[in-house]
Amino acid sequence: MLNDETYAVDDAVVEAARGLGLGSLELRALTRMSTEGLRVSGRKALQRVLEAEAPGLGTGSVYEVLRRAGLDDDCGRGAFLVGTGDQQAAIVLEDGTGNLDGHTLEGADLDGASPPTSGAPLIDPEAGLFRAADIEKTSYVYGWPGPVGAAHYARAPHTDDATDISTGGATIDGATLSSDAVLEIAGDATHLLRGPVTSRALTLRARIGSRPHVRLDDDVVVTASGDEATLVLDGLWLGARAPRRLILRGDFEVVALRHCTLDPGEATTEASLVELVVEGSVESLELTNCLLGCLRVDGGFIGSLVVTHCGFLPVPGRLAIETGPGTALHLTGSTITGPVMTHRLFASDTIFSSTVSATDLQNGCVRYSAAPAGEALPRPYHVVRLDVDSLAGLFSSTSLGSPQLLRLAARAPIELQEASSIGGETGLWGLRRDGAKLESVAAKVEEFLPVGLIAVHLRET
């Protein structure tokens, strides 16, 4: 859409030309084109037409002023940069002094094998990617399906005091952080985190209403200090420019991640993957309202892994969860798109779209969930079995940043819409209670609908 450019030589262009102090020859040419209602597609076509009518109109700063004045609000670029009617522009670029010139923005496929190079700011709206070396800050509108992962939605208010360590985008040196403190990052800037980090009772969180991006320059090791050490990460988006690991070492009593996104990588590669790796001992690992790619134990131990309202999006060929011997995995209201290997499994209201392996099938339980046909599950109860055809296209999107992330597709088995323990959609977005809301709306419509009319309910988002 951004490269859908239509230009009209109209009164606005003529007025812009008068403001430039152009001569009578140029003004007569523009007035004639305006009277004829000239419209062209693409800036090169506009440049050729202007230059052919009067030399000098299609070059330099004169052309730029006329081009911007003639951009049609109804074309894709106009809708993105200008907005139509009462709608604001979808893309606004700004630096510390104000808005930058959005007309220099170009659309590009930045998610392909060979992203283009250009001196202009580039954006791939479909993939949600930016490339703008000279722009310090961008403001943009994004869709988010619900209160999961790092985003600007309302979280439970914090009642304890915190020390603000916001750097405005500078480096956070983990070695200088207090191991026994509540530290808070405000704003949405990208911070570079360098390890190692030591934790006795460390809480590192985002301020309510903020979504800081914490980039791992290298693998970051968090080491427990003393007995019964704890670690809390809340509201953070952990990303990287190359595959990185967040490593837990030492003896932790509790490690809790809440409302965090650990970048799961790109659709087919591990280019930005942040993997959670346990090399030490964690008595209780709690993941709540998080989005992750991979979690695994590497020579360590997890006593209890409690996953509530989380989504796992591993890249192809990687396991979503690998816990090792002795771990009890508790899953509630989650969606796992990759293989799971654990010792003992307790799952409720969860969708498994890949293989599931639990070594202890005599204990545990999988209830009100969905799993591929043929998978051996401990004491299954009200489990929807998914065949190969059902697994293909099960979700509307598995791309991080999509407002349809892990939402059930229209072609998904109807049983999944009623498979949860409360009678609605199972999986991650069962927490939205969309089924119950639709039933309430349908009942109200049925109550007040005039006789002889039939209502059709269409899901828009």
Domains of the chain by residue range: 6-76, 90-140, 163-391
Distance of CA 120 to the CA centre of its chain: 24
CA distance linking residue 334 with residue 311, whole number of Å: 6
Mean pLDDT across 363-382: 95
Distance CA 435, CA 420 (A): 10
pLDDT at position 339 is: 96
Find the range with the poorest average confidence among 14-23, 41-50, 76-85, 135-144.
Answer: 76-85
Residue type, 257: L
Return the pLDDT at 364.
96
| Lowest pLDDT segment from 172-181, 233-242, 361-370, 419-428 | 419-428
Task: Please report, in angstroms and rounded to a whole number, the separation of the first and last CA atoms in the chain.
Answer: 20
Higher-scoring residue by pLDDT: 320, 54: 320
Give yes or no for residue 134 having a pLDDT over 60. Answer: no
More confident: 80 or 413? 413
- pLDDT for the residue numbered 114: 54
Higher pLDDT, 181 or 6: 181
- Give the length of the chain: 461
Please say whether the beta carbons of 253 and 229 come within 8 A: yes
Q: What was the pLDDT predicted at 44?
A: 81
Sign of CA dihedral 146, 149, 150, 154: positive
pLDDT at 105 over 80: no
Where does 132-244 have alpha helices with state H?
Answer: none
pLDDT digits 0-9 by tens, 249-286: 999 999 999 999 999 987 666 778 999 999 999 999 99
Instruction: Please check whether residue 225 is in contact with residue 199, taking contact to mean a CB–CB distance below 8 angstroms.
Output: yes
Biggest alpha carbon distance in the chain? Answer: 91
Q: What is the pLDDT of residue 83?
A: 47
Tell which wins on pLDDT, 311 or 458: 311
Give pLDDT, residue 419: 86
Q: What is the mean pLDDT of residues 177-189?
A: 93
Residue 114 has which token pair? Answer: 């060979």
CB distance 394 to 412 below 8 Å: yes
The proportion of the chain whose per-residue pLDDT surpasses 70, expressed as a percent, equals 85
112-121, 406-415, 451-460: the lowest-pLDDT one? 112-121
Q: Give tens-digit pLDDT for 436-457.
A: 777 788 889 888 888 888 888 7
pLDDT tens digits along 285-340: 999 999 999 999 999 999 999 999 999 999 888 999 999 899 999 999 999 999 99
Separation between Cα atoms, residue 88 and residue 93, nearest integer Å: 13
Contact 362, 340 (CB under 8 A): no
Question: How far is residue 96's CA from residue 287's CA, in Å, rounded to a whole number?
Answer: 36
Picking from 250, 217, 212, the residue whose alpha carbon sits closest to that of residue 233 is 212
pLDDT tens-digit map of 4-27: 778 888 888 888 888 888 888 888
Mean pLDDT of 62-91: 67
266 token code pair: 């790109």
Residue 215, pLDDT above cutoff 90: yes
Q: What's the mean pLDDT in 382-400?
A: 87
Spatial CA neighbour of 262 closest among 285, 284, 290, 299: 290
- 210 Cβ contact partners less than 8 Å away, ≥ 6 residues apart: 152, 185, 186, 187, 188, 235
Provide the pLDDT confidence category of residue 458 given band limits of 50, 70 and 90: confident
More confident residue, 348 or 143: 348
**pTM score > 0.75 for this model?**
no
Write the Ramachandran bin of 401: left for phi over 0, alpha for psi from -120 to 50, otherwise beta: left
DSSP 8-state secondary structure symbol assigned to residue 380:
E
Q: What angle do CA 102, 104, 109 make, to 5 degrees?
A: 100
